[in-house]
Chains A and B, each alone.
Chain A
């Protein structure tokens, strides 16, 4: 009889481990040199910690009881535990605080290549440095980490999760319709989005603007020549762009339609892409409200790379040579 593994988990054997370890060590060097000290938190947390942090997606999939009947969860990301850590262990420390981590997280995803239920994340959190400076620093560390990993052709999509909502506010869209519109946008359903916008009965110009913005992505030219409500809504992204070093800026895809499903993002959001691999390698963004949930209201920004996906992208680039 062969003993099986739980769905979505797997073993890692020496050849793969050697490559993964070498890659994460290079990334760790970048994090450490940028002043991000490594932390580790328990894989198990009280469920209340996670419900406080984020009720939306990324909800923990694995629950159990301790000997007192408390509900424990396997962490579904590292951002919430580090927010807890920063608010408790560093409650009187002078910000900004810089942490990095290499830790497994657990989610009930549909298992496939690069999508495991136990997955290793490598990331940083920068706490107490406002936008745009904090966002720019984290984007810079992200690109340096990807360079150190050895990835050649990666790009980083940069959006602003408050951009589209701001636009909807300025157009006085009914709150009920708003949610539908933002859901279609987050799902990438442009047909559904068009139907929702048509149903609003806006004037032609406003309707065209909503549809146009949802698919506007490209180089810095995207941020130029914006007018009306959009110019105001894109203030945050322009502020970030103005401070980026040229070698970082050329990696960025400015994406006005990028919104992330994860509940705690408040401003800038980013996603890491590589042409050799069809799924995003990492995500990140600002979560300026999350620390306040743990009693220490500080702005924050961070990213996490999915180490397994990074490795797949790296080997795919080598193969495509």
Chain B
């Protein structure tokens, strides 16, 4: 890296990608190359690296990126990481919910008759914490792909997942039983970068306040 005070920002591909690039444009970064090239991952000139949202905390914690943008859901799931959470960026609204198939709630039924409900999720820590906090026993089944399948195929009685509009849930015959937490995009920083590149980071935050 040529300029030691230059910032490197970890940008999430996926649902937050478009909004994030628009924001970076307004902050004066040149994102044209990022928009034009969806296979490249490292954009040295713009100071941008792109990755899946759940990898953003990993890069930022290690100092491989100074700043990063990712959802609060990701930060809650990886709460043990040593990171600074600087700003709620206010976009990427979604809700972490407990959902089960429509009609009589099979999760409540399982809890009543079997003492424990099976819950499929990509967010095992958020789910565990929620059931612990609400005093219910749940067996958390971690899945990587489409969580909606689990209650339909009989793997679990319910799911804990993120939803923005609820469309996917509805299409699969699932209804929201509980809202667990709300999430938006957050700007995070590596704690050492936050000290050593204070001027560059504060200048960026000031521009952020202005837009």
Contacts and interface: CB of A to CB of B under 8 A. Distances in A.
Nearest to A156: B195
Given A190-B85, A192-B85, A278 B190 contact: yes
B190 A275 contact: no
Contacts of B110: none
Nearest to A277: B63
Interface string B193-206: 11110110010000
Interface of B: 4, 61-64, 80, 82-88, 186, 189-196, 198-199, 202
A4 to B, nearest CB: 23
Contacts of A277: 63, 192
A164 B107 CA distance: 46
A303 B42 CA distance: 38
Contacts of B198: 217-218, 253
Contact of B186 (A155, A191, A279): A191
Interface core residue of B64, B192, B198 (most chain A CB under 10 Å): B192
Interface string A165-197: 000000000000000000000001111100000
B59 to A, nearest CB: 9
B88 A255 contact: no
A155 B85 contact: no
Given A188-B85, A190-B85, A273 B192 contact: yes
Residue from the set A110, A274, A275, A278 with the largest chain B CB neighbour count within 10 Å: A278
Contacts of B196: 155, 253, 273, 275
8 contacts: A155-B195, A155-B196, A188-B85, A192-B85, A215-B202, A217-B198, A253-B198, A278-B61
A190 B84 contact: yes
Contacts of B191: 188, 279-280
A285 interface: no
Nearest to A258: B195
A42 B161 CA distance: 49
A215 to B, nearest CB: 7
A157 interface: yes
Contacts, number: 57
A273 B195 CA distance: 8
Contacts of A110: 80
A155 B189 CA distance: 18
B208 to A, nearest CB: 12
Contacts of A273: 192, 195-196
Contacts of A188: 82-85, 189, 191, 194
A245 B85 CA distance: 35
The majority secondary structure among interface residues of chain A is strand
Nearest to A320: B1
Interface of A: 110, 155, 157, 188-192, 215, 217-218, 253, 255, 271, 273-275, 277-280
Contacts of A271: 195
A275 B4 contact: yes
B44 to A, nearest CB: 15
A157 B87 CA distance: 23
Given A217-B194, A253-B195, A278-B63, 20 more contacts: A155-B195, A155-B196, A188-B82, A188-B83, A188-B84, A188-B85, A188-B191, A189-B84, A191-B85, A191-B86, A191-B186, A192-B85, A217-B198, A255-B195, A275-B196, A277-B192, A278-B61, A279-B63, A279-B192, A280-B192
Nearest to A115: B82
A255 B4 CA distance: 21
Contacts of A157: 195
Contacts of B186: 191
A278 B85 contact: no
Q: Which of A157, A188, A192, A255 gathers the greatest number of chain B CB atoms within 10 Å?
A: A188
Nearest to B202: A215
**Residue of A110, A255, A275, A277 with most partner-chain B CB within 10 A:** A275
A142 to B, nearest CB: 16
A278 B192 contact: yes
Contacts of B85: 188-192
B7 to A, nearest CB: 12
B32 to A, nearest CB: 29
Contacts of A218: 198-199
Nearest to B1: A320
B195 to A, nearest CB: 5
B65 to A, nearest CB: 9
A288 B114 CA distance: 55
Contacts of B84: 188-190
A218 B63 CA distance: 20
A217 B194 CA distance: 9
Nearest to B83: A188
B158 to A, nearest CB: 29
A189 B75 CA distance: 11
Contacts of B83: 188
B120 to A, nearest CB: 25
A193 to B, nearest CB: 9
